[in-house]
Chains A and B, each alone.
Chain A
Amino acid sequence: MTDESSDVEFEAISSAQLDQVKLKQEGNKFIVILPTRVKEHPNHWEELWQELKYHLKHSERTWSTQQVVYLQAEDHLLDTRQLQNLAEVLQEVDLKLISVKTSRRQTAVAAATAGYSVEQINWATSFKEKEEEANIAEPLYLKTTIRSGVEVRHNGTVIILGDVNPGGSIVARGDIIIWGNLRGIAHAGSQGHRESRIFALKMEPTQIRIADIVARVAPPDPEDIQPEIAYLTKEGIAIARALNFEKSHRFAESWGSWDDTPTDIPKTKVETPAKFSILNRVLKSPSNNKDI
């Protein structure tokens, strides 16, 4: 074995890859949006199914009892049995499927047979809606422990009320806020947004990634556990105490990274320098991820 580590191919993620099942309240409509997949693979339905159950179970319950659901099936091919399974799982959380919107004829026929109202859209309109998707989405709020094997992807900021365990991962286009212990992988600003930060009550991740930078983090001092923030500096990813972060740090557009030198505030009393809050816990955060 050599000391030389292999190069890590690490690129910003496209917004289509970030797509997962989405739940949306729009006026008195409750909409379940299935993600459009870049490529369909054999396990496709199984994966979609698990995702839907996960989101229904752990998302904040914004819907009222027996609220009606509009399913946006997009370009998914669904048969009657799959639609029935969907309706059943929605019923378990007190939601009632009444309408299906799809761009596929086969799905439309299956939905009509099962007695749902059908709205068939053509590719052009569905494409237009996709354009809007390119904008950052509303934050995703999950109240659960993210356990090993679970990957949460979202085209916006992700808030987790619970721990992220080793083997679990969060990929967000925006910030990641973990009200708990971060032990898995967190990737903020996954589409190259360098201002994104990762917040955790206890920061002991397997790995953290911001935009296209990867870092490993040394375990915190068990005697002194504090909420912390991981952010990008000119030198790579740094970790600081979360308290007062907004006051002592500002994002320097010109550098494309955070500036942690104190801003000039007229001092009226003796202060500990703002630098104190930077913790030297990042083990490796090379700007080109060559040797992580």
Chain B
Amino acid sequence: MNRVIVITSGKGGVGKTTVTANLGTALASLGRKVALVDADFGLRNLDILLGLEQRIVYTALDVLAGECSLDKALVRDKRVPNLVLLPAAQNRTKEAITPEQMKELVEQLSKQYDYILIDCPAGIEMGFRNAIAPAQEAIIVTTPEMSAVRDADRVVGLMESEQIKTIHLIINRLRPDMIKLNQMISIEDILDLLVIPLLGIVPDDQKIIVSTNRGEPIVLEEQTSLPATAFKNIAARLEGKNLPFLDLMASQDTIINRLKRFLNRF
């Protein structure tokens, strides 16, 4: 059975596109056939993160206009077989497409792909409504910041009155050092407010910025990193595996801290 998942957040800049790119790549690496749909018409980014920008010829709008077949518009990722991108049009706005047309496109894709991940634009206006229209499931991305959590809450509310039944949460850009110092909202507090099941926690890492600029999802990098492991675990959890969450606070467990605790025992 194929799954249509929208990745959304309400607030901008929390990492929806990064999550979409990495999660899609990780799922494809697990052998699944994955289609990524960029619903951010006019401000598309997903192609850049995937390093596929230069290979776009047709966009979703061309398909809808009947100028090319859907298959022709899909950009295949050469590094990961099974992964394709349906690009958004950059020269148009969110109003260029309707929820019904989005449904139509996804309907066609779902015949061939196991997973369809839709990268939702920020906000709760037309672009958001387009992106959620075809989805059965949603992944909410938030960061441990008040404003992001508040917006996530609003979006969860909007989802609940739509046809979307399954909603999961990813907490992105977590900084264990700041949580330790009580400068960031804790995971417990976020879950207490949002009351939706947690799918994964991704630590903040400068490597993400590097990988974004290079156009290579971090999960593809040879040298594995904490965020890459987090994304792979999320993919595995989507596949139904019951993996424990990464102990991100462990990195706070330095030799000096351990020594201090040891000395305190006496």
Which residues of A are in contact with B by a Cβ distance under 8 Å? 50, 53-54, 57, 144-145, 147-150, 163, 165-168, 181, 183
Contacts and interface: CB of A to CB of B under 8 A. Distances in A.
A183 B193 CA distance: 9
B161 A167 contact: no
Contacts of A166: 150, 153, 193
B157 A150 contact: yes
A57 B160 contact: yes
A147 B153 contact: yes
A150 B193 CA distance: 15
Q: When A and B form their complex, which 8 residue pairs have the shortest distance between CB atoms, in order from nearest? A: A147-B157, A148-B154, A148-B153, A149-B154, A53-B161, A147-B153, A165-B153, A54-B161
A167 B153 contact: yes
B153 A163 contact: no
Given A57-B160, A163-B195, A166-B150, 19 more contacts: A50-B161, A53-B161, A54-B161, A57-B161, A144-B160, A145-B195, A147-B154, A147-B160, A148-B150, A148-B151, A148-B154, A149-B157, A149-B158, A150-B157, A165-B153, A166-B193, A167-B153, A168-B157, A183-B193
Contacts of A50: 161
Contacts of B161: 50, 53-54, 57
> Of residues B151, B153, B158, B195, which shows the largest number of chain A Cβ atoms within 10 Å of its Cβ?
B153
A262 to B, nearest CB: 36
Nearest to B162: A53
Contacts of B157: 147-150, 168
Contacts of A165: 153, 193
A112 to B, nearest CB: 28
A242 B117 CA distance: 48
14 contacts: A53-B161, A57-B161, A144-B160, A145-B195, A147-B154, A147-B156, A147-B157, A148-B157, A165-B193, A166-B150, A166-B153, A166-B193, A167-B150, A167-B153
A257 B232 CA distance: 60
B132 to A, nearest CB: 14
Interface string B35-79: 000000000000000000000000000000000000000000000
Contacts of A163: 193, 195
Contacts of B151: 148
Contacts of A57: 160-161
Nearest to B157: A147
A71 B153 CA distance: 32
Nearest to A54: B161
A45 to B, nearest CB: 15
> Of residues A148, A163, A166, A181, which shows the largest number of chain B Cβ atoms within 10 Å of its Cβ?
A148
A21 to B, nearest CB: 12
A49 to B, nearest CB: 9
> Of residues A150, A165, A167, A183, which shows the largest number of chain B Cβ atoms within 10 Å of its Cβ?
A165
A213 B193 CA distance: 27
Nearest to A57: B161
Contacts of A150: 157
Interface string B152-178: 011011101100000000000000000
A229 to B, nearest CB: 22
A148 B142 CA distance: 15
A178 to B, nearest CB: 15
A145 B191 CA distance: 13
B154 A167 contact: yes
A167 to B, nearest CB: 6
A147 B140 CA distance: 14
Interface in B113-162: 150-151, 153-154, 156-158, 160-161
A13 to B, nearest CB: 23
Contacts of A53: 161
A39 to B, nearest CB: 23
B167 to A, nearest CB: 11
Contacts of A148: 150-151, 153-154, 157
A94 B137 CA distance: 23
